[in-house]
């Protein structure tokens, strides 16, 4: 006998207004808020991908029929409590090109973060990152240990503003590994403020009391595109920036760091 089963919809359960930074028929770039998953971790999760599908269905850019053969998706994963730019592909070719750009690092990625301590000079730091899958935590060493799992990483940073005890950094993510910026900066003695995994509990406690801060002050801020003549031709040599979350801006001002995007970029 025929049993009726409801169709599993790969869409969001509730409406969320997405912050679209740029879109054309091939690609979409979103400003992900803190607290949202980039992609599902468990089956029952609702992530940015589901909200994106819902948005594309609502705006008539995709039909449920088309979703059976191709699923628009995101190409870069930000940690749940990291805000900022997430790139998505609406077509298979755009998705493949974007993924390739991330893999070959031809797409330049810049982050903003507030770290503990004074950093007066910019630096390009290298190291080795090893992931512990049980704890979902990574460790960073300067020298390569005798282990195959350790991956080479490279992070470049420029101080934008320095106060007595905190520094606003612009970070150029050269390699893009799990928790790279968070763990790499922490290994230099300048952890990101609010980071419960790699941060300084004492510093975090001060900021929690002062600003009710519950997440790391790390934001995927800017993407710079290389010259393209394919499905990404419309973003060829463009620069996209994602405005900082209000809470981050409040803390920057509260700490006396008068910085406005676009006025000074280091």
pLDDT at 147: 63
Residue 13's pLDDT band, with cuts at 50, 70 and 90, is: low
Active site residue 58: no
Dihedral sign, CA of 163, 168, 172, 176? positive
pLDDT at 119: 96
Residue 149's pLDDT band, with cuts at 50, 70 and 90, is: confident
Dihedral sign, CA of 120, 125, 128, 134? positive
CA distance 77 to 6: 30
pTM of the predicted structure, to 2 decimals: 0.90
Quick one: average pLDDT of 21-48?
Answer: 93
Quick one: average pLDDT of 193-218?
Answer: 97
| Active-site pick, 24, 45, 58, 79 | 79
Quick one: average pLDDT of 56-80?
Answer: 94
Q: Is the pLDDT of residue 8 over 50?
A: no
pLDDT at 252: 95
Phi-psi region of 110 (alpha: psi -120 to 50; beta: other; left: phi over 0): beta
Q: When comparing pLDDT for 262 and 119, which is higher?
A: 119
Asked if residues 83 and 31 have their Cβ atoms less than 8 Å apart, the reply is yes
List Cβ neighbours of 37 (8 Å cut-off, separation of 6 or more): 45, 46, 47, 48, 80
Summarize pLDDT for 88-134 with one digit per residue, the tens.
999 999 999 999 999 999 999 999 999 999 999 999 999 999 988 88
Strands, E assignment, 94-186: 108-116, 123-132, 137-141, 151-162, 166-173
Residue 9's pLDDT band, with cuts at 50, 70 and 90, is: low
pLDDT at 3: 41
Q: Is the pLDDT of residue 198 over 90?
A: yes
Q: Is the pLDDT of residue 12 over 60?
A: no
Quick one: average pLDDT of 85-90?
Answer: 97
Residue 42's pLDDT band, with cuts at 50, 70 and 90, is: confident
CA distance 258 to 266: 13
pLDDT at 1: 41
Q: Average pLDDT, whole number, for the chain? A: 90
What are the CA-CA distances from residue 256 to residues 158, 162, 163 (Å)? 18, 9, 7
CA distance 36 to 239: 24
Residue 257's pLDDT band, with cuts at 50, 70 and 90, is: confident
Asked if residues 171 and 153 have their Cβ atoms less than 8 Å apart, the reply is no
Q: Is the pLDDT of residue 59 over 50?
A: yes
Quick one: average pLDDT of 228-248?
Answer: 95
Coil/strand/helix, residue 61: coil
Percentage of the chain lying above the pLDDT 70 cut: 90
CA distance 18 to 20: 6
């Amino acid at each position: 006998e025929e049993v009726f089963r409801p169709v599993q919809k790969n869409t969001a359960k509730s409406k969320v207004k997405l912050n679209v930074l740029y879109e054309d028929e091939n690609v979409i770039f979103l400003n992900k808020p803190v607290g949202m998953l980039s992609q599902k971790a468990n089956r029952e999760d609702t992530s940015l991908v589901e909200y994106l599908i819902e948005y594309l269905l609502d705006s008539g850019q995709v039909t449920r029929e088309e979703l059976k053969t191709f699923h628009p998706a995101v190409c870069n994963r930000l940690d749940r409590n990291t805000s900022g730019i997430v790139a998505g592909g609406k077509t298979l070719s755009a998705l493949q090109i974007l993924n390739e750009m991330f893999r070959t690092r031809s797409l330049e990625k810049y982050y903003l973060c507030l770290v503990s301590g004074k950093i007066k000079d910019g630096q390009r730091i290298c190291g080795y990152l090893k992931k512990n899958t049980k704890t979902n935590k990574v460790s960073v060493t300067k020298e390569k240990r005798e282990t195959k799992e350790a991956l080479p990483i490279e992070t470049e940073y420029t101080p934008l503003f320095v106060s007595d005890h905190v520094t606003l950094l612009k970070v150029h993510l050269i390699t893009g590994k799990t928790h790279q910026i968070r763990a790499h900066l922490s290994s230099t003695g300048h952890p990101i403020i609010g980071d419960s995994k790699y941060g300084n509990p004492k510093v975090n406690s001060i900021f929690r009391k002062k600003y009710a801060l519950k997440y790391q002050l790390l934001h995927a801020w800017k993407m710079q595109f290389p010259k393209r003549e394919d499905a990404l031709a419309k973003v060829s040599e463009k620069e996209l920036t994602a405005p900082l979350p209000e809470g981050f801006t409040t803390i920057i001002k509260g700490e006396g760091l008068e910085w406005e995007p676009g006025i000074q970029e280091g």
